[in-house]
Amino acid sequence: MATYRYATKELSITNAKAFVHNATMVAGTASDEDGRDTKHSIILYVGVGRTEEWPSEPNPSLPEDNDQYLRYQTHRNMFGAKRITASDISHVATRHDWTSGTVYSMYRDTDTDMYDRQWYVLTEDNNVYVCLYNNKGAASTIKPTGFSTVAFSTSDGYRWKYMYTIDLGDANKFLTTSYMPVKTLSSSDGSAEEDRQLAVQNAAVNGAIEVVETVTVGSGYPYVANGAVTAGGKFTLRLSSATATGASAIDNFYNGSSVYISDGTGAGQLRRIIDYDGSSRTLTVNTAFSTVCNTDSRAVISPTLTIIGDGAGAKGYCTVNTAINSVEAITMVNRGSGYTTAIGLITSNAVHGTGATANVLISTIGGHGSDPIRELAADKVMLNVQLDNNMGTSVTGAGYTPSNTEFRIISIMKDPMLKVNSNNAVIATEVVANTSNAPLYLRTSTKMKFSYDQMDGSTPINPLAVNDVLTNKRVLTRAKNGTLEFVTELGQVERDSNALVNALRAANATITYIRDAEDESDNSIYSVYINNVESYANYPAFQDNDIILKSTGETEIGTVLDIQGPEANTYSGEILYVENIQPTLRDPDQIEDIKIILDF
């Protein structure tokens, strides 16, 4: 027996919502415990790294989806990170700009390809509207406008529902040529945009029927488009006998049809006709008029639309093309509520009209506008982080990510183990990042205060440079002495000739940034930032008083005066995303605007 399974769009949307919810928790929420295995919040950082050139510079190498690359290499390459805050995260949906002359798809609760169609639009005013009816596939020529909480029609025959307006802040961060931000509100921040959206959400009706479309138009249907009323009663209505009214003089001609009061006293009432006197043009309805019509009232007589379903209250009337006496459109008078299934029947009477059929469209769960994230299938999340010149403190190295440095890898790191508190002060015991202890910036490189051995005035004799690979004399001496366990050379000559190679195996790092030590008056002292730090077994790679060597020779360059490790455990945070890019210079006079799309 065949079995068919697939993961629904709802799963993707649910996962995206859960991710955003957990990533935007604020300090003090009851569900944000400190333990890694119990807390519900997730703390995200965008990391930048890799100063070394790509093998085919400037073209980046492909990232690898394996543990070595994601759990180790990406961490080792990272030299700085910035926390992704709640204001940096948004659901996004594919952007569809409204353009005159375009045929837009309409919402259908039975359309299996709906999420691949253009059935909502963004106007130049940053207003978002859902297309509920496209006038049988006609081109849209009238831009939807306004902020109505109910569906509305435009003169080109389209029917729209206003959803929300993208405010300036969200537009600047999350609106791109391909995507637009989407959010569902639980409350308003008091802005006009959020007040309007919340009003739309609150006015949405679950199980409403906003549209009933004609499938076949039929023929032979009687119709009065604008009947003038000369008298009204509780159950009766008398139409003018004037030729302009067009009312029939034949008895029972409209029995089974419906009458809709389109204007004047009693406007908006819809009733079914059960008797018609042709000589007096008087009709009798099945249910009393709640407001008795008067001479200013106008009536539409057309075929009856009957909606049968598991909800209640949905009503509409038909519009007839008098040239061919067919049903050309259906206008809803009351959208009703509670429908999950419904059919529509078009009837007149046994003598007049036949063949018209209708299709009832059920609104999305909660009603159109109740949950824009779900309705627009916003199962993608955009993270937007801006890196400027003020990332951390250069003097102390707290949270410091230097400018004037190239990076080639962008990553997203989740829940690192922190060695500092929210103010980047060193703490005694590592803790997992949570909503109250995570600093805005993290220095993920090692900071060494370093003194050159030889200076020519203010210039080092053997200067270090970015991307130099370093080791130290301590491990070089052990390599020569044969006291590093992995050294297999037995003779002293062999050990000496291979000592530098073995020293680099025991301890090595790559320089990412160098600058003068701002808290020192001695011009031989510099701050040197390193990453890709590797060591053998339990030997520390670098420590105070180490004499630094380059990978190119045994010349002693200088001495480590102080060393500060990364502010997070190097391999603790889970890497959720990696993007290898062409080299990007962190220019102090510019802002790097990083936009990342996560597809759930």
Q: What is the pLDDT of residue 252?
A: 94
Closest CA to 565 of 535, 597, 525, 520: 535
Mean pLDDT of all residues in 567-590? 93
Mean pLDDT of all residues in 521-547? 94
Q: Which CATH class is domain 9-89+383-444+571-599?
A: mainly beta
Burial zone of 149 (CB within 10 Å; 0-12 exposed, 13-18 middle, 19+ buried): middle
The pLDDT tens digits for 550-566 are 999 999 999 999 999 99
d(CA 436, CA 31): 13
Place of tokens 């890694």: 36
Whether the bond between 463 and the residue before it is cis, its omega within 30 degrees of 0, is: no
Confirm if 495 and 480 have CB atoms less than 8 A apart: yes
- Whether 533 shows a pLDDT value over 60: the answer reads yes
- Whether 34 shows a pLDDT value over 60: the answer reads no
Mean pLDDT of all residues in 350-376? 94
d(CA 409, CA 575): 12
The pLDDT tens digits for 128-181 are 999 999 999 999 999 999 999 999 999 999 999 999 999 999 999 999 999 999
Mean pLDDT of all residues in 371-386? 97
How would residue 37 be classed by pLDDT, with cut points 50, 70 and 90? low
Share of the chain above pLDDT 90, in %: 88
- Whether 32 shows a pLDDT value over 50: the answer reads no
Indicate where the chain has its CATH 2.60.340.10 domain(s): 9-89+383-444+571-599
d(CA 502, CA 492): 14
- Greater confidence (343 vs 33) lies with 343
Mean pLDDT of the chain: 93
- Greater confidence (129 vs 2) lies with 129
Q: How far apart are the first and last CA of the chain?
A: 31
Backbone phi, psi, residue 277, to 5°: -100, 115
The pLDDT tens digits for 107-136 are 999 999 999 999 999 999 999 999 999 999
Closest CA to 167 of 96, 87, 99, 97: 87
pTM: 0.89
d(CA 413, CA 254): 71
- Whether 419 shows a pLDDT value over 80: the answer reads yes
Share of the chain above pLDDT 70, in %: 96
Q: Residue 8, Cβ neighbours under 10 Å: how many?
A: 8
Confirm if 40 and 32 have CB atoms less than 8 A apart: yes
Q: What is the pLDDT of residue 119?
A: 97
| CA separation, residue 186 to residues 36, 150, 197, 206, 372 (Å) | 28, 20, 10, 17, 12
Phi/psi zone of residue 218: left (φ > 0), alpha (ψ -120 to 50 degrees), beta?
left
Mean pLDDT of all residues in 265-286? 96
Closest CA to 206 of 107, 92, 314: 314
What is the DSSP-derived secondary structure letter of residue 69?
Answer: I
Residue 126 tokens, joined? 């940053």
d(CA 342, CA 359): 9
Q: What is the pLDDT of residue 133?
A: 97
